[in-house]
Structure 1
Amino acid sequence: MSPVIARLEPSRNDADPTLADALADLHTRSRQIAYRGLYGDAFLDHELAAVSRASWRARFENHDSARDLILAAIENGAPVGLAYASFRLNPAVGLLLDNLHVAPGRKGDGLGSALLAGVARWLIEDHASAPLHLEVYAPNASALGFYERKGGVAVARYRETVPGGRETDVVRYRWERPASLL
C-alpha cells in the first residue's frame, strides 16, 4: 500500500496528541540519523525526543490553518513522512518549510518529492503562488543535493550554533515559482 499524503488541520479535526507525538517520533528518528556528528550525541540520544514532542504538541495547539501547513505521509496508520511550513517562523522571508523528513527506511521512494509538491500546491492554491523557502545545514550533503535537483536556488548562508555547541553553516533555498515543484 502506498502512503497517503494528508493535510492535517489540528485546529479542526486532528488535535489528537498521539498524532503529534507520532510525527515528533518520526522527526526525532530522522534527525538522529541525519544530524549525527553535527548535533551533540547527548542531545540526540537523550534530549531530542522530548524537545521534538514539545515542539510538535505546540504546533498542533497553536496551529493557524491560514499560515501553517502540516502534511503527513501515512501508511498503515503511521506517519512515514512529514512536512511543516509556516509564514510565522521567519516573516521577513515569507513561507519557511521548517521540516521535511522521511522515515529512514523510506528515503528514495518519492515521499520527499510528494511532500514538497504538497507544500507547493498549498502555496499555489491558498497563497497566490508565494515563494517557498527552506533552510538546511550545509554538512547535510544528501539534503543539499535533493533541494538542488528540485531547482532550489541558494539565496542566503549564515552560521548557527546547533545543539551540542558546534557552529555550522545553514543554507537558505528559494523557489520563486512553487509550480516548478509539481
Structure 2
Amino acid sequence: MITTIRRGTARDAGAVAALHAESWRTAYAGIVPAEALGDGLAAQRHEIWELRLTVDYGGPETAPELLIAEHGGAVVGFAYLVPQPDGRVLLDNLHVRPGLTGGGIGRGLLDAALAHIAARHPGADLYLEVLSANTRAVAFYERAGGLRTAAGEGVFPGGHLLPEYEYTWPRGERAPEEVPAAGQSRS
C-alpha cells in the first residue's frame, strides 16, 4: 500500500478524532475499563482534536506537529508530536486504522516523526508512553528501536490508573532506514 505522509491541519480534526476513537476501542478493549471506551469517546476525541488543532502555541519551537498518513485520500494513520519543556519531544499519539496495522503505516509515521524532530528539534530525544498491557504496540516500539527508559502509571479517562512504559529514541542512536519527507510517498 502506498501511503502519503503530510502535515495535518485543523481540517483534519474530524477524521483524526474518528480514527483515534476507533483505534482506542480496538487496541484497548479488555485493557481499559469499558466506560472509558463508551459512547462519549468519539465526542470527547473530537473536542480534544478541535482544540489541539486550533490553539496558537506561540511558535515552531513549542508548537505540536500533526503528521497524517493518507491512502486514496482517506486518513489511515496519524502521529502527534509535542515539544516538552525538558527539551524532549513527546510522541503523544501514534494510531493506524484498525485492520491496516502491520502494513508499514505506523513505521512510516514513526520515521517521519524522527525526521521532523531531527529537522525542527535537533538533538532532542523522541519518547512516548504506552500501556504495558498493549503488547502489540510494545512489540512494535521495540522492533522500531525504542529503548524502554521508564515504567509507571498513566491516568486514563475516568481517573483510571494503568501501568505503562516509556520508550525513547535518543537522537543519534537510531537512524531511520528510510525517512520520507512530509508529503512524499512510502510503500
Amino acid at match of 2:176: L
TM-score by length of 1: 0.87
C-alpha distance in structure 1 between counterparts of 2:164 and 2:121, whole Å: 26
Amino acid at match of 2:67: L
The corresponding residue for 1:2 is 2
The corresponding residue for 2:182 is none
Deviation for aligned residue 1:49: 0.6
Q: Deviations 1:26-85 (Å, cap 9, x if unpaired)?
A: 011011011112222233121211111011111110154613110111122220000001
Contact 1:5 1:115 in 2 (8 A): yes
SS of residue paired to 2:128 = strand
Higher helix share: 1
Structure 2: runs of 5 or more not aligned: 178-187
Deviation for aligned residue 1:164: 4.9
- For residues 81-120 of structure 1, the aligned pairs below 5 Å read 81-87=77-83, 90-92=84-86, 94-120=88-114
SS of residue paired to 2:117 = helix
1:143 and 2:137 correspond: yes
SS of residue paired to 1:24 = helix
Runs of 4+ in 1 over 4 A off after TM superposition: none
C-alpha distance in structure 2 between counterparts of 1:63 and 1:149, whole Å: 35
Structure possessing the higher relative contact order (Cα contacts under 8 Å, 6 or more residues apart): 2
TM-score by length of 2: 0.85
1:80 and 2:73 correspond: no
Comparing 170-179 with 146-155, greater Cα deviation is found at: 170-179
C-alpha distance in structure 2 between counterparts of 1:165 and 1:5, whole Å: 34
The corresponding residue for 1:132 is 126
Contact 2:31 2:134 in 1 (8 A): no
Deviation for aligned residue 1:180: 2.2
- For residues 47-86 of structure 1, the aligned pairs below 5 Å read 47-62=40-55, 64=57, 66=60, 67-86=63-82
Q: Deviations 1:102-129 (Å, cap 9, x if unpaired)?
A: 0011111100000000110011111113
Contact 1:154 1:174 in 2 (8 A): yes
RMSD across aligned positions (CA): 1.8
Contact 1:40 1:163 in 2 (8 A): no
**Residue 155 (structure 1) aligned to one of 143, 146, 149:** 149
Structure 1: runs of 5 or more not aligned: none
C-alpha distance in structure 2 between counterparts of 1:29 and 1:47, whole Å: 12
Percent of aligned pairs sharing the same letter: 36
Amino acid at match of 1:57: E
